[in-house]
Chain A
Amino acid sequence: DAKTTQPNSMESNEEEPVHLPCNHSTISGTDYIHWYRQLPSQGPEYVIHGLTSNVNNRMASLAIAEDRKSSTLILHRATLRDAAVYYCILRDSGNTGKLIFGQGTTLQVKP
């Protein structure tokens, strides 16, 4: 399974943008880049995914490097509710692509 590398923790101030980096230098051409987050005492929650182009949705934006060896999850205005563990995961586009979670980045948001 292709691996990802993320910082263990990051801090942000409320209402400021947050850029969460992820390195995936061994990504294959069929791997989608997925981001999930896990709020305290809850199950993981899908945030966004992409293949080659940058993606936007109501929760966040995903910026993918041209060589696809890294990506950045962007929260445009962090709120206290965004404090969570954020996971960057590569998912094979095959029919049974499974998600293998790493340790993720713990995001702390300060008021």
Chain B
Amino acid sequence: DAGVIQSPRHEVTEMGQEVTLRCKPISGHNSLFWYRQTMMRGLELLIYFNNNVPIDDSGMPEDRFSAKMPNASFSTLKIQPSEPRDSAVYFCASSQNDPYGYTFGSGTRLTVV
């Protein structure tokens, strides 16, 4: 089991550019979560999917952020256009459909200059 796989590990982009973060959840997990972590705000839940369907996107900061889960093995988080305040570590996590634990990926460190 390779765990939750996120790519890229690091991303540096210029303000105004489009950024796409990718996540491959653990096979058999049917819930997927996107989090953002900054020093100021800690870990924030952005959006989560259950059986590939977005359930709650109330944490998505604004319309510049969008997330998709076209199938059970892949999800993307897109920021367009990116801004310096989007700089953070973005984590993806997956879970089975019960109260068991989440498994987090290693995160993508995004820097927008």
- Which residue numbers of A lie inside 8 Å of B, CB to CB? 32, 34, 36, 42-46, 49, 51, 87, 91-93, 95-104
Contact = CB atoms under 8 A, between A and B. Distances in A.
Interface in B30-50: 31, 33, 35, 42-45, 48, 50
Interface size for chain B: under 10, 10 to 19, 20 to 34, or 35 or more residues?
20 to 34
A43 B105 contact: yes
B99 A32 contact: yes
Interface of B: 31, 33, 35, 42-45, 48, 50, 55-56, 91, 93, 97-107
Contacts of A91: 99
B72 to A, nearest CB: 15
Nearest to B48: A98
Given A91-B99, A98-B56, A44 B45 contact: no
Given A44-B91, A91-B99, A98 B42 contact: no
Closest 5 CB pairs of A and B: A46-B101, A43-B104, A101-B43, A32-B99, A93-B99
Given A96-B31, A96-B48, A98-B33, A49 B100 contact: yes
Given A32-B99, A43-B91, 5 more contacts: A34-B99, A44-B91, A87-B43, A98-B56, A102-B42
Contacts of B99: 32, 34, 49, 51, 91-93, 97
Contacts of B91: 43-44
A43 B31 contact: no
Report whether over half of chain B's contact residues are helix, strand or loop; otherwise say mixed.
strand
A96 B50 contact: yes
28 contacts: A32-B99, A34-B99, A42-B107, A43-B104, A43-B105, A43-B107, A44-B43, A44-B91, A44-B104, A46-B102, A49-B99, A49-B101, A91-B99, A92-B99, A93-B98, A93-B99, A95-B98, A96-B55, A96-B97, A98-B45, A99-B33, A99-B45, A100-B45, A101-B35, A101-B42, A101-B44, A101-B45, A104-B42
Contacts of A32: 99
A95 B97 contact: yes
Contacts of A87: 43
